[in-house]
């Protein structure tokens, strides 16, 4: 084995420039593969981080505009949900799948604390909203059943709105227990929530009956959200959505198959589609990286062909004194794998270092969207599994690169080889 490595070293030393240029192509290929996968992970992790703030088994429903005439009504009619839709959703027809149902009413208001004012939306919600939306309470508490039963004037503020009502962000926790004005009414602040990309960072939460009684009397609601179970596949979810859509549409005398009359947002199917997109993106990145690496593999194969041609006389002597075709094949493949693995590992290390550098500089990068900090690049690195896959890829690439030249070397006939210059 030692003699084999000595031979490989001597062969590479005789062709240093050619080997280095070819090795650079291999290193560049694996470097680009690692960096592309790392950058792709950064984008995908940002999406995953955003979606993790939402419950994965909920549907949100809101009114839309009809696109088909039905039951004597023309198209273009606006549909507004009402409390009968809550009863329909929570009723016996859908009880096999639906768990909890919560509704929202909302309107635009102005809040102020002393001389600080801010325009925002007040949402009348129920306690279940916190669980369905995975709302994180930073200080104090969320709306509770007592607030609902006693129609209390209490408010839960998002952190971004709370910042606009204090002089120093450090004073935000002290807002809990104090009072603010919503329009001309006094509300007690009972909690501060974290504001993220998936929840409305400019909305004040208050008890549903309070907002209903003060600003939005009647039965209309802005939207409803319900949690569900038992819908495991995309087909199951689509079938349920079609039946539910038809029921809600008919409740408002709209065509059962009019998908624009009522908008349904299903987070289960959204997550499934996101996972499909993640897999497609990962596959695309692998393909781009592999094609980049392919140029290096072709270069290694070419240099090994040249090496075989230059050493034809030597191989003839080896075979004349008893060297087996397998020993020559093993020598060429080992040399090819050595070149590919050595320069490939250099590219891999540099690629992982670049990913770590991206993580330090661009990791957790966020942008402000509608007053909310949205993560767009999170942890752009590759894991140990990718490193192991890249190692296996290098071994396979090196073997393939040396296979054809090795077969040529094994087929060298001693008499013809000894005549070769």
**Other beta carbons within 10 Å of 346:** 17
CA 176 – CA 199 distance, rounded (Å): 20
Instruction: Please measure the distance between the N-terminal and C-terminal CA atoms of the chain and give it in whole angstroms.
Output: 29
Checking if the pLDDT of 137 tops 70, the result is: yes
- The C-alpha angle 85, 89, 95, rounded to 5 degrees, equals 160
Checking if the pLDDT of 1 tops 70, the result is: no
Which residues pair with residue 107 across a beta bridge?
122
| pTM of the complete model | 0.67
Q: Of 55, 57, 47, 46, give the one whose Cα is nearest residue 135.
A: 55
- Write down the pLDDT at residue 376: 61
- Residues 287-303: pLDDT tens digits? 887 787 777 777 777 77
Hey, where are the domains in the chain?
2-52+271-419, 116-218
Cβ–Cβ < 8 Å for 205, 129: yes
Reported confidence tier of residue 370, pLDDT bands at 50, 70, 90: very low
- Residues 321-347: pLDDT tens digits? 887 878 877 877 887 788 888 888 888
Strand, helix or coil at 59?
strand
Count, residues in the chain: 421
Checking if the pLDDT of 319 tops 90, the result is: no
- The C-alpha angle 143, 157, 194, rounded to 5 degrees, equals 95
Please give the structure tokens belonging to residue 392: 């296996």
Reported confidence tier of residue 197, pLDDT bands at 50, 70, 90: very low
- Write down the pLDDT at residue 51: 59
Please give the structure tokens belonging to residue 366: 């966020």
Q: Positive or negative, the Cα torsion across 6, 12, 13, 15?
A: positive
CA 136 – CA 124 distance, rounded (Å): 18
Highest-confidence range of 142-146, 264-268, 406-410, by mean pLDDT?
142-146
- Residues 4-22: pLDDT tens digits? 667 666 666 777 777 787 7
Please give the structure tokens belonging to residue 318: 């080896």
- Tell me, what DSSP letter sits at residue 220? B
Q: 330 exposed, middle or buried (CB, 10 Å; 0-12, 13-18, 19+)?
A: middle
């Amino acid at each position: 084995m030692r003699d084999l490595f000595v031979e490989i070293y001597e062969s590479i030393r005789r062709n240093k420039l050619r080997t280095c240029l070819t090795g650079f192509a291999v290193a560049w290929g694996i470097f680009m593969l690692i960096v592309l996968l790392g950058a792709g992970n950064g984008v995908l992790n940002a999406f995953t981080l955003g979606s993790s703030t939402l419950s994965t088994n909920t549907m949100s429903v809101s009114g839309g505009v009809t696109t088909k005439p039905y039951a004597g009504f023309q198209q273009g009619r606006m549909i507004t949900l009402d409390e009968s839709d809550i009863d329909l959703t929570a009723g016996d027809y859908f009880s096999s799948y639906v768990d909890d149902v919560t509704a929202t009413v909302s309107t635009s208001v102005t809040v102020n604390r002393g001389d600080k004012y801010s325009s925002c939306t007040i949402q009348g919600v129920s306690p279940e909203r916190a669980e369905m939306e995975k709302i994180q309470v930073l200080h104090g508490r969320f709306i509770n059943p007592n607030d609902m039963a006693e129609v209390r004037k209490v408010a839960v503020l998002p952190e971004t709105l709370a910042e606009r009502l204090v002089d120093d962000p450090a004073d935000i926790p002290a807002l809990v227990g104090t009072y603010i004005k919503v329009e001309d009414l006094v509300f007690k602040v009972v909690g501060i929530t974290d504001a993220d990309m998936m929840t409305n960072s400019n909305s004040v939460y208050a008890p549903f009956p309070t907002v209903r009684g003060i600003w939005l009397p009647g039965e209309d609601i802005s939207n409803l959200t319900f949690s569900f179970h038992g819908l495991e596949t995309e087909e199951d979810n689509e079938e349920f959505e079609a039946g539910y859509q038809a029921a809600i549409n008919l409740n408002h005398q709209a065509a059962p198959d009019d998908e624009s009359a009522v908008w349904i947002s299903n987070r289960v199917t959204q997550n499934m589609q996101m996972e499909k997109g993640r897999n497609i993106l990962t596959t695309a990145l692998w393909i781009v990286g592999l094609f980049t690496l392919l140029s290096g593999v072709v270069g290694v194969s070419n240099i090994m062909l040249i090496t075989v041609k230059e050493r034809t006389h030597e191989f003839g002597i080896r075979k004349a004194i008893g060297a087996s075709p397998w020993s020559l094949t093993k020598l060429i493949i080992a040399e090819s794998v050595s070149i590919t693995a050595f320069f490939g590992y250099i590219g891999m290390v540099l690629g992982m270092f670049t990913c770590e550098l991206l993580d330090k500089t661009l990791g957790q990068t966020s942008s402000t969207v509608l007053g909310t900090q949205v993560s767009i690049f999170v942890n752009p690195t590759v894991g140990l599994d990718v490193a192991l896959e890249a190692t296996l890829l290098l071994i396979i690439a090196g073997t393939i690169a040396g296979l054809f030249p090795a077969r040529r070397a094994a087929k060298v006939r001693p008499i013809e080889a000894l005549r070769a210059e």
